[in-house]
Amino acid sequence: MNWIVESMAEGNGDWLRARGIGRERFAGYVGDYLTSVGYSVERSEIAEPAETRVRGSLTRMNPALPPAASALVFRFYPTSGGAALVWEEPTVVPPDERARMDRFVREMEGHLTRAVATESHATAKVVRPSEPHLPWNGHATASSA
């Protein structure tokens, strides 16, 4: 069953993966980060196929975030040994907002990497898949836009 869920994550284009922690815990780290930068967070779980969804709505003004980042949606799938994070929304970022969105993506990835490694005493880690996917970039990293 895990290979089915893992292939679903690959087909949807996962952005990040966590090794050594499950999808629920990984979703918790994302929710905590979003709350810290001004989002209200809604989390839902689906049993079959196993999936966690996190929705963030910007409620506190943050000039560092572009308007395209006002509503975010992420899906988490279990993988063998961890979880995959799929960035679902927004799917389009206007060119004039791209620099701020790319900076937000890099800051979020850095925060998740540090938080997971610190809390797990480096037994768990966040890694990029071989072809990380952000909907507005295709199969490219945020820094290569």
What is the rounded CA–CA span in Å between residue 61 and residue 93?
Answer: 19
For each of the domains in the chain, give its residue range(s) and CATH number, in order of start: 2-144 (3.30.310)
Q: And the tokens for 108? A: 């979020």
| pLDDT tens string 87-98 | 999 999 999 999
SS3 content of the chain, % helix, strand, coil (to 5): 40, 30, 30
Can you give the pLDDT at residue 138? 56
What pLDDT digit, counting tens, does each position of 99-118 carry?
A: 999 999 999 999 999 999 88
pTM for the whole structure: 0.82
Q: Is there a contact between 131 and 139 (Cβ–Cβ < 8 Å)?
A: yes
